[in-house]
Amino acid sequence: MLTTSCESSSTCKRLTIDQTSEPRQPFPPRPISAPSGSTEVLMFNFSELERVNPIGSRAGGTVYSAVHKPTGRLYALKVLYGYHEDSVRLQIIREGQIFHDVDNPNVVKCYDMFDHNGDIQVLLEFMDGGSLKGKHIHNEKALSDLTRQILAGLVHLHGRHVVHRDIKPSNLLINSRHEVKIADFVGRVLAKTMDPCNSSVANTAYMCPERIDTDINHGKFDPYAGDIWSLGVCILELYMGRYPFYVVGGQKGDFASLTWAICRSQPPEAPPTASGEFRHFIACCLQRDPNKRLSAVQLLQHSFISGNGGG
């Protein structure tokens, strides 16, 4: 096992946003849930966490499963390796603060953030089913329930004037209770600054046309509508079992062909074999005109969701 220790304040400290000369305050402690039916409230120190296995990686960081040694409970520990220009570091901490303050059953919980030897370490809720990346969910009832949960998370975020900007299957996590939660607020700014060329295809694949090409929609970009487009691409991909835009050899293709497909071709549609409710739901998300896309609140009332799918 890789043991993470925090023995002194000089090597590990709780991260905060220092915008004034006032003493910095840590994130408000968020209690760790005790077993069901118990009123016990558990707090922890960083030294009580032990890394177990890497469960994912991306530009600049790795996510590990981690055990809280006093209780044996599992968490996810996202480690963003030391690099950091002050402006980038501050943006990551700001995103972490937003993430920490969100309390919704369909958004992955962020318990705390630490600076350990220059690395930003983020303690997160552990989702034992992994992400929806690569999943094929052709059953519309199952897909309806999954989509309802994602929308519930988006309604909560958008109601708090928070946009995600990177909704994609790898950022939608599921657990053994079939709960689906939106993840990965923290560190997106890092991925954008590390290697924009290598990460551009993956990041662009779920972006709306007007975000990629500013000539579309007269340079106006509504990030809430952008999240809805990304949701539509994700849900259609899950239904079809493949990325729904033009693909080359089953992949997303190069950057040029991908952006041309998103910005210039007609938005993809659900196949004719799908129910009318599902086809209409996807069409409500994948409107080239962002003003015609339904909001998360409106989509939550759509018959595909409220009627629990077409079967």
Catalytic residues: 166
Dmax (CA) for the chain in angstroms is: 62
Report phi then psi at 104, rounded to 5. -150, 140
CA geometry: angle at 80 spanning 75 and 84, to 5°? 150
Report phi then psi at 161, rounded to 5. 60, 40
Give the distance, in angstroms, between the CA of residue 26 and the centroid of all CA atoms in the same chain: 24
Pairing of strands 110-116, 119-125: antiparallel
DSSP conformational letter for 131:
B
First to last CA, the chain: 46
Burial of 254 (0-12, 13-18, 19+ CB in 10 A): exposed
- Calpha distance 306→296 (Å, rounded): 13
Tokens matching residue 183: 């993840």
DSSP secondary structure, 52-64, as one string: EEEEEEETTEEEE
Q: What is the dihedral of CA 57, 164, 68, 120, to 10 degrees?
A: 60
